[in-house]
Amino acid sequence: MTATSPTTNERVEQAATRLFAQRGFHGTGIRRLAQESGLTSASLYHWMGTKEELLARLMRSALERLTAEARAALAGAGEDPRDRLDALVRVHVRAHAERPEQTRVVDGELGALTPDARAGVVALRDEYEDLWRTVIEDGVDQGLLVVAQPDLARRAVLEMCSSVARWFRSDGDLGVAEVAEEHVSLARGALGAR
């Protein structure tokens, strides 16, 4: 690889994320992807492999980054499950507000992957959601969160936080930090935090 490899890789991945988010995986042609990347169709394959490999790589990268951010936030959140919940909500909201196209791709294009590629992405998603599951179960076990159906509540809170990717605008009335704090309050309420 040459010294320009990272720049070219970034261009390909940024173009693919943008196009997959706007047009969907199946609606994005190789010619358009090459054009958006500033490459020829023939040279694009050198940088991406197959289109599915590129999609799977984008999804894995997004989920690995989100999981790493969540783990780092939990490391600084202390032991109280309510504080740990707050940390997860802030990370999730911030990531979805700041990277909405990634969210659309990860959440909307899983069905475009073949079973083997899908299994790897689903395993990463499950690893991330297990962080939430553990925090909520700890809170329920300690009597600090009161919810009858922890798994359903986890899904509902995650969906609420994920929806930020669809409506948040950086030029809106509230900034990312303010939106995250509002979601912390909403999540605590939904999970019966005491």
Q: What is the pLDDT along the chain (194 residues), one digit of tens a residue?
A: 444 444 788 889 999 999 999 999 999 999 999 999 888 888 888 777 889 999 999 999 999 999 999 999 999 999 999 999 999 999 999 999 999 999 999 999 999 999 999 999 999 999 999 999 999 999 999 999 999 999 999 999 999 999 999 999 999 999 999 999 999 999 999 999 98
The fold of 56-190 is Tetracycline Repressor; domain 2 (1.10.357)
pTM to 2 decimal places: 0.90
DSSP string, the chain: --TTHHHHHHHHHHHHHHHHHHH-STT--HHHHHHHHTS-HHHHHHHHSSHHHHHHHHHHHHHHHHHHHHHHHHHTS-S-HHHHHHHHHHHHHHHHHH-HHHHHHHHH-GGGS-HHHHHHHHHHHHHHHHHHHHHHHHHHHTTSS--S-HHHHHHHHHHHHHTHHHH--TTSSS-HHHHHHHHHHHHHHHTT--
- Quote the CATH superfamily of domain 1-49: Homeodomain-like (1.10.10.60)
- Spans of all domains in the chain: 1-49, 56-190
